[in-house]
């Protein structure tokens, strides 16, 4: 079963990538506000955020 010499390390490596990503999400504060994260997608507007930032700064009028 030489194929397992390829598939098992490869699968473990993919798991490690997942694990490292998970550590990154923890450290970068991705899980600090699950309540808010779940609710924010429900906001009604359908525009990118840049729009309002630039509007607030008065750079655009439309």
Partner 1 sequence: MMQRLTGAERQLALIISVLTLLSGLAMAAAGRADPLGIHGWIVVLFAGAVFLLTLGSIYDPEPREDRAVSYYDDPTKVGLILALGWAVVGMGMGVWVAAQLAWPDLRFDAAWSSFGRIRPVHTSGVIFGFGGNALIATSFHVMQRTSRARLAGHVSPWFVLLGFNLFCIIAASGYLMGVTQSKEYAEPEWYADIWLVIVWVVYFVLYIRTLARRNEPHIYVANWYYLAFILVVAVLHIVNNLAVPASLTGAKSYSAFSGVQDAMTQWWYGHNAVAFFLTAGFLGMLYYFLPKRAERPIYSYRLSILSFWGITFFYIWAGSHHLHYTALPQWVQTLGMTFSVMLLVPSWASAGNALMTLNGAWHKVRDDATLRFMMVAAVFYGLSTFEGSFMAVRAVNSLSHYTDWTVGHVHAGAMGWVALISFGSIYAVVPLLWQRETMYSWKLVEWHFWLALSGTVIYVFAMWNSGITQGLMWRTYTESGTLAYSFTDTLVAMHPYYVARAVGGALFLTGAVLALFNVVMTIRHAPEKRPERDYPTSSEATEPAVPAAE
Which residues sit at the interface with partner 1, rule CB under 8 A? 1-4, 6-7, 10-11, 14-15, 18, 22, 25, 29-56, 60, 62
Q: How far is the CB of 18 from partner 1 (least distance, A)?
A: 5
Q: How far is the CB of 27 from partner 1 (least distance, A)?
A: 13
Q: How far is the CB of 14 from partner 1 (least distance, A)?
A: 6
DSSP per-residue string spanning 10-61: HHHHHHHHHHHHHHHHHHTTTTS-HHHHHHHTT-S--S-HHHHHHHHTTS--
């Amino acid at each position: 079963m030489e194929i397992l010499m390829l598939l098992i390390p490869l699968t473990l490596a993919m798991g490690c990538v997942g694990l490292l990503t998970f550590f990154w999400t923890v450290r970068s504060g991705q899980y600090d506000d699950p309540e808010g994260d779940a609710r924010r997608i429900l906001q009604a507007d359908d525009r990118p955020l840049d729009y309002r930032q630039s509007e607030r700064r008065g750079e655009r009028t439309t």
